[in-house]
Amino acid sequence: MEYYNQDTLIYLNTDFVQASSAGIDMFGQSLHYGYGAFEGLRAYSTHNGTRIFKAEEHFARLAKSCETIGLPFEWDNRTLIEKSYELLELNNLREAYIRPLVFSGSNMHLTSSNVANIMIAAWEWGPYLGQNLLRVNISKIERPNPKSFPTEAKVSGQYINSILATSDAIKNGFDEALLLDQDGFVAQASSENLFIEKDFKIYTPPLGNIFPGITRETVIEICKSLNFEIIEKRLTIKHIYEADSAFLSGTAAGIIGIKQIDNMIFSEDWEDSIGASIQRKYKNLVLEQENYEVII
Applying CB under 6 A, the span of 14-22, 84-92, 100-108, 213-221 interacting with ligand PMP comes to 213-221
The interface with ligand PMP within residues 244-263 (CB under 6 A) comprises 249-251
Least distance CB 92 / ligand PMP (angstroms): 25
| 193 in contact with ligand PMP (CB under 6 A) | yes
Least distance CB 80 / ligand PMP (angstroms): 17
| 216 in contact with ligand PMP (CB under 6 A) | yes
| 191 in contact with ligand PMP (CB under 6 A) | yes
| 214 in contact with ligand PMP (CB under 6 A) | yes
> Which residue, 217 or 268, has its beta carbon nearer to ligand PMP?
217
Whether 249 and 212 have beta carbons less than 8 Å apart is answered as: no
> Which residue, 203 or 211, has its beta carbon nearer to ligand PMP?
211
Whether 95 and 45 have beta carbons less than 8 Å apart is answered as: yes
| 129 in contact with ligand PMP (CB under 6 A) | no
| 104 in contact with ligand PMP (CB under 6 A) | no
Site string for ligand PMP, 12-51 (x = CB under 6 A): ----------------------------x-----------
In angstroms, the CA 158 to CA 254 distance is: 21
Looking at residue 111, its amino acid is T
In the complex, which residues of this chain contact ligand PMP (CB under 6 A)? 40, 154, 162, 188, 191-193, 211, 213-216, 249-251
